[in-house]
Amino acid sequence: MEIIVQKYGGSSVADTEKLKIVCTHIIKEVKKGKKVVVVVSAQGKTTDKLIKEEQEITKNPCKREHDMLVSVGEQITIAKLSMLLKENGHDSISYLGWQVPIITDSNFGDANILEVGDEKILNSLASDKIVIVAGFQGIDKEYNITTLGRGGSDTTAIALADRLKAEKCEIFTDVDGVYAEDPNINKNAKKYDKISYDKMLEMANNGAKILHNKCVKLAKEKNVSIIVKSTFIEESTGTIVE
């Protein structure tokens, strides 16, 4: 099976119109004969909104309940995207982290992935379903829901690409790749066609949120090359991180 993993961030799935654009990218790959696994984030600012609501209740939330709350945004996105794909004539199935399963340690709010199951996903792909996985979440060995840290859906995508031996891992976002500086702050920032893991890690550690730092570390460790590209620019060439 020629498997590819695509990840779409919050701004790429912010509303139904954007989800329709996401569908076109997925269907394009399906038509090429690829088996597609899609990782999605919560829509738009959903996670920020959940945290704001939590703050209205307590400034010192129980870490377990924090993860129980902030992980829910992704569940909405996976269900909607799966429905949209079916509406477009493509069979699809959505999975939460625990259903894959994505097993993590119990470091709530910043959990680390320990193991990723492949059986369920491979069976679904073999029966010609597009697989949609909720990013950012997992389950610990005591069956508690965990989250991987803000921006953690990037890490879910890399972990799946590694486990499934995907031929590529594309991270779709709202800019056309990795720039020397945030292109939304400096419009003249230079775009990289290619960047090393180490340079990318340095940028992620310095706060460039384009890729989650844990995702870059994992990609380097497992030698997964990443293509960062825009959901909204036709024929976006993006940046290869390898």
From candidates 61, 73, 97, 177, binder to ligand ASP by CB under 6 A: 73
Q: Please state whether beta strands 194-195 and 226-230 pair in parallel, antiparallel, or not at all (unpaired).
A: unpaired
Helix/strand/coil for 108? coil
Per CB under 6 A, which of residues 108..137 are in contact with ligand ASP? 135-136
Find out whether 8 and 170 touch, Cβ atoms under 8 Å.
no
Half-sphere exposure of 241 (CA within 13 A, CB side): 32
Report which residue's Cβ sits closest to ligand ADP.
9
From candidates 5, 6, 8, 10, binder to ligand ASP by CB under 6 A: 10
CB of 4 to Mg ion, least distance (A): 19
**CB neighbour list of residue 52: distance below 8 Å, 6 or more residues apart:** none
The binder of 77, among ligand ASP, ligand ADP, Mg ion, none, by C-beta within 5 to 8 A per type, is none
Using alpha carbons only, give the angle 233, 92, 109 rounded to the nearest 5 degrees.
75
**Tokens 């004969």 sit on residue:** 33
Residues engaged in binding ligand ADP (CB under 6 A):
9-12, 41, 151, 173-175, 178-179, 181-184, 203, 208-210
CB of 142 to ligand ASP, least distance (A): 23
From candidates 12, 47, 92, 146, binder to ligand ASP by CB under 6 A: 47
Find out whether 35 and 125 touch, Cβ atoms under 8 Å.
yes
Q: Residue 123: name the closest of 156, 157, 159, 164 by CA.
A: 164
177 in contact with Mg ion (CB under 5 A) = no
Helix (H) or strand (E) run with residue 5 in it: strand 3-8
From candidates 6, 7, 9, 34, binder to Mg ion by CB under 5 A: 9
The binder of 135, among ligand ADP, Mg ion, ligand ASP, none, by C-beta within 5 to 8 A per type, is ligand ASP
| Sign of the torsion angle spanned by Cα atoms 119, 125, 129, 131 | positive
Which pair of tokens denotes residue 124?
A: 């679904």
CB of 233 to ligand ADP, least distance (A): 13
CB of 2 to ligand ASP, least distance (A): 26
CB of 36 to ligand ADP, least distance (A): 18
In whole angstroms, give the CA distance from residue 204 to residue 59. 28
Per CB under 6 A, which of residues 139..178 are in contact with ligand ASP? 150-153
From candidates 6, 14, 36, 41, binder to ligand ASP by CB under 6 A: 41
Q: Is 67 exposed, middle or buried (0-12, 13-18, 19+ CB in 10 A)?
A: buried
Note the residues at the interface with ligand ASP (CB under 6 A). Answer: 9-10, 41-42, 47, 73, 135-136, 150-153
